[in-house]
Amino acid sequence: MMGIEVRNVTKTFGSVMALEDVSLHLEVKKIYGLLGNNGAGKTTLFNIISNRLYADSGQISIDDQKAADHDSVLGKVFMMGEDNLFPEDMRVKKAFTTSKLFLPQFDLDYALVLAERFELQTNKKIKSLSTGYASIFRLILALSANTPYLLLDEPVLGLDARHRDMFYKLLIEHYSHRPSTIVISTHIILEVANLLEHILIINNGRIVKDVPRDELLAGSYTVSGPASLIDHFIKDKKTISTDRIGGLRTACIEGQPDESDVPDGLEIRQTNLQDYFISLMNGGSVK
Amino acid sequence: MSIKFNDEKPIFMQIAVMLENAIFCGAYVEEDQIPSITELAVAYNINPATALKGINMLVDEGLLYKKRGLGMFVAAGASAKIHQKRKNSFYANYIRPMIKEARQLGINGDSLSAMIERGYQDDGN
C-alpha cells in the first residue's frame, strides 16, 4: 500500500505515555491536519515517522517498506520541526547548498526564489535570524525538499499575518504543481481549516478522530438559543459540549440537524473546525 | 470577486455560489475562461480539491464546461439558467424565512403585503 502506515506505535518517556498504540494511514497526495493540545503527542509522532526517535513498539512503513533506518525510505520524508539541524554559525545560503547533498531532489533555485520572496537575507548566519525568520528559513527548506511526504510541525510559529498568508499560498501552489502528502500540525486552526482534506485529532497520545474534514464538519452542528429551549432540544441528542452566557445557551451536537424538529427561536449553524476541536477538548467526551 | 467564508455552508458550496454570482453579475460572460483550480485555491487559501468540488457543482448544472487542456469556461446560456434557478428558489429562500420572522414579530399577512407594496414604491422613487 502506498502512503505511510503507522501500526500500533507506542512511545513512553520515563513514566509518561507520549503515544499509546497509535495506528493510522497517511494516503498519498493529501493534506492532513494533525490537531491536538500542547503535549498531546504531535511532535513525538512526527519524530517517530521521520526516524528521529525510536518507538518502544509498533512499526512505520513507507510505501510498503519498513522505515526504520532505511535511508532510501526515509529520504521520502521531510520533517520541518521547531529545531534547527544546521550548525548555528552556518549561513543561510550554505545551509541551502548543504541540503542539496542530503536531499537529492532539493530544489536550490526554488529555495533562493522563496528566500527573495520572503526577504530572507541568505548571507545571514542561522543563529542571527529572528524567531519569525528562523521559521521562514525552515519553511523554505521544507517547501524546496520535494519529498513525497512532508511533515510540518507548527510551521507558522512566530510568523506575522502577512508571512503566514504568503506561506499558505505557497503551500497550495506547491501542492498544486507537485502533489505530495502534507501533514500540518498547528494551533492556528482557523487559518488552515480550509486547506485540509483530512483531520487527525490526537489527545493524550491517542488518535481520537481520523476522518475527512467535510465528513467531520457535516457530522456535527451548533445550536443556540434560550437555555430552556436548548435543554429540551438536546435531551435526546449526543452533545459534544455546551456553553452558556446568561440565558443564552449554545450546544455542539453530534449528527445532522433535522430541520423539521428544530423549534422556532433556535439558531442552527455548521460547526467550524476550531469550534469543533475546542468543543471536543472541553466536552470531556474524549479521554 | 471577493468572498468571506461563513459557517453556514460547506466551503465548496460557497465557492460555487461565488462563481455563480460572478457569472450572474457579468464579471464572467459566456465563453469567458474562469480562474484555474490552482488560482482559486491560492486566492482563497483552500484545498484544490475543494475548489474542484465547487467548480464541478457548476459543471453539473451546465453553467461551466471544460475545454480539454485549456481550462473551465462559462457555458452559453449560463446567465439565463441562473436567472431561472434563482426565480424558482425565490419563494423558499426569501419568502418563507420572511414569513417565519414576521410571525415571530406578530406581523400578519395584510401588514406584510402592505410593507411589500411600500417597498416597491420606495424603490421606484
Residues linked to residue A72 through DSSP beta bridges, in sequence order: none
Q: Are strands A220-226 and A267-270 parallel, antiparallel or unpaired?
A: antiparallel
Q: Minimal CA–CA distance to A61: which of A52, A78, A73?
A: A73
CA-CA distance, B125 to B113, in Å (whole number)? Answer: 19
More confident residue, B10 or A136: A136
| Range in A107-116, A122-131, A255-264 the model is least confident about | A255-264
Distance from CA of A191 to the nearest CA of B (A): 8
Instruction: From chain A, pick out residues whose CB is under 8 angstroms from the CB of B7.
Output: 222, 269-272
Q: For position A284, what pLDDT does the model report?
A: 61
Instruction: From chain A, pick out residues whose CB is under 8 angstroms from the CB of B49.
Output: 197
Distance from CA of A67 to the nearest CA of B (A): 29
- Note the pLDDT tens digit of each residue in B5-31: 777 788 899 999 999 999 999 999 999
Cβ distance A269 to B8 less than 8 Å, yes or no, reads yes
Cβ distance A214 to B10 less than 8 Å, yes or no, reads yes
Residue of B5, B7, B103 lying closest to A269 (CB–CB): B7
Burial (CB < 10 A; 0-12, 13-18, 19+), residue A265, is exposed
Cα A47–chain centre separation = 14
Instruction: From chain B, pick out residues whose CB is under 8 angstroms from the CB of A176.
Output: 37-38, 41-42, 48
Q: Which three cell numbers stand for residue A202?
A: 490526537
Residues whose CB falls within 8 Å of the CB of residue A229, separated by 6 or more in sequence, listed in order = A263, A265, A266
More confident residue, B59 or A67: B59
Q: Which three cell numbers stand for residue A50?
A: 521521520
Q: Does pLDDT of A140 surpass 80? A: yes
Residues linked to residue A65 through DSSP beta bridges, in sequence order: A62
The sign of the dihedral angle between the CA atoms of A66, A67, A72, A78 is positive
Residue of chain A nearest B42, judged by CA positions: A169
Q: For position A250, what pLDDT does the model report?
A: 92
Mean pLDDT of chain A: 91
> Across residues B37-57, what is the average pLDDT?
95
Q: How many CB atoms within 10 Å of residue A155? A: 27
CA-CA distance, B14 to B5, in Å (whole number)? Answer: 7
Q: Does pLDDT of A145 surpass 90? A: yes
φ and ψ at residue B36, rounded to 5 degrees: -70, 165
Distance from CA of A272 to the nearest CA of B (A): 6
- Note the pLDDT tens digit of each residue in B89-121: 999 999 999 998 999 899 999 999 999 999 999
Cβ distance A172 to B49 less than 8 Å, yes or no, reads no
Mutate to test the interface with B, among A180, A184, A191, A194 (most CBs of B within 10 A): A194
CA-CA distance, A74 to A145, in Å (whole number)? Answer: 13
Cβ distance A176 to B44 less than 8 Å, yes or no, reads no
> Across residues B37-46, what is the average pLDDT?
94
Secondary structure of B89-118 as H, E, C letters: HHHHHHHHHHHHHHHHHCCCHHHHHHHHHH
- Note the pLDDT tens digit of each residue in A168-224: 999 999 999 999 999 999 999 999 999 999 999 999 999 999 999 989 988 899 999
Q: For position A287, what pLDDT does the model report?
A: 42
CA-CA distance, A272 to A281, in Å (whole number)? Answer: 14
Contact residues, A window 172-191, toward B, CB-based 8 Å cutoff: 172-173, 175-177, 191
Q: In this structure, are residues B34 and B63 in contact, taking their beta carbons and an 8 Å threshold?
A: no
Q: What is the ipTM of this complex?
A: 0.81
> A-B interface: how many C-beta pairs under 8 angstroms?
52
Q: Does pLDDT of B1 surpass 60? A: no
Q: In this structure, are residues A238 and A259 in contact, taking their beta carbons and an 8 Å threshold?
A: no
CA-CA distance, A233 to A266, in Å (whole number)? Answer: 9
